Amino acid sequence: MTADDHLPLAVLAGDGIGPEVVPVAVEVAAAALEPHGIVVDRVDLPFGGHAIASHGAPVPQTTLDGLAETPLWVVGPHDSASYPDQLRTPPPGALLRTRFDLFANLRPARALPGVPATTPSMDVLVVRENSEGLYADRNMAVGAGEFMPTPDVAMSIGVVTRAATERIAVEAFEAARRRRGHVTIVHKANVLRLTTGLFRDVCLDVARRYPDVRVSQQHVDAMAALLVRSPDAIDVIVAENLFGDILSDLAGELSGSLGSAPSLNASSARAMAQAVHGAAPDIAGRGIANPVGMIGSVAMLLRWHGDRTGEHRVTAAADAIDAAVAHASANGARTADLGGAATTADVGAAVRAALSEVG
């Protein structure tokens, strides 16, 4: 815990619906921490399109300096497609992920009360390796891992290393110990024998350190089918980057809506709460965006911090936020994507009010 029970949060509102959902999530965090005697110190940093207007870059140096000094971040979506051509690469998320080695992307998918879902008891965590794999923007020291030897031929390099796979496997097995004790290793080793075969084999090596955790493995296409057919039979999925991205989006939609899907990007020293959904510029400024994904991401951020530091008050606040979101949803505080009519502000107010009922 920081001096005098203050918890600094770096806040980057981002683009599109970010300036609508991010403040709601920070307000919920502050309300959840207040009964525990903890005050949120909000550190606002320029980011995205507004930073281009004010600083000439979507992630200016002042923002990078501020993030380096603050280990807990709340980050809204970015809309790099709307940036000037010369500022579109690297995308802001890629810059932050690479600069601060945010190698673990944790994406839970849990059905909310009152929201139609494939399986109401669904509770899946996708642990996604975030620094290499089959995504071409994160597997070369300079540039991207895609190239065209001729105008009619495009090629891509996929990178899987033992070191990166081992550390993400440890994240997955530690998470399973805190959950239901089952990890499913996802790969495509029948086709990508060397790359995803190495991923599978290293995960199995790590599994030997966790005899209390049940282990299974699936090809990625079979895993997608299993998510649709029997999501309540799945606990923790560990996957390389591309597979983890696709499966977590599928799981989020199956649990009700991508707008409700939270996400945490973390290194060993810092973490970034950033919901799975994008900037949604088509609904920006209308006050109808679903803030639940962002609120859940902030709850994950607090839990990450509480678990690392042993600060049980912060962990309790995270638990209270999750319980309050479920309570508010069950009582009808749902935006249009979840079948309701609530505004962004309505949902935030309902969750804050529910904190006193679930605490």
Q: Annotated catalytic sites, by residue?
A: 135, 188, 221, 245, 249
* 271 close to 71: Cβ distance less than 8 angstroms: yes
- Sign for the CA dihedral angle at 288, 24, 10, 300 comes to negative
Q: Which residues neighbour 99 within 8 Å (Cβ) at sequence distance 6 or greater? A: 64
Q: Which residues neighbour 60 within 8 Å (Cβ) at sequence distance 6 or greater? A: 46, 51
The DSSP secondary-structure symbol of 112 reads P
The Cα–Cα gap between 293 and 354 comes to 17
Strand residues in 16-163 grouped as ranges (E): 39-44, 72-75, 104-110, 123-129, 146-150, 153-156
Name the residue with tokens 């939609």: 253
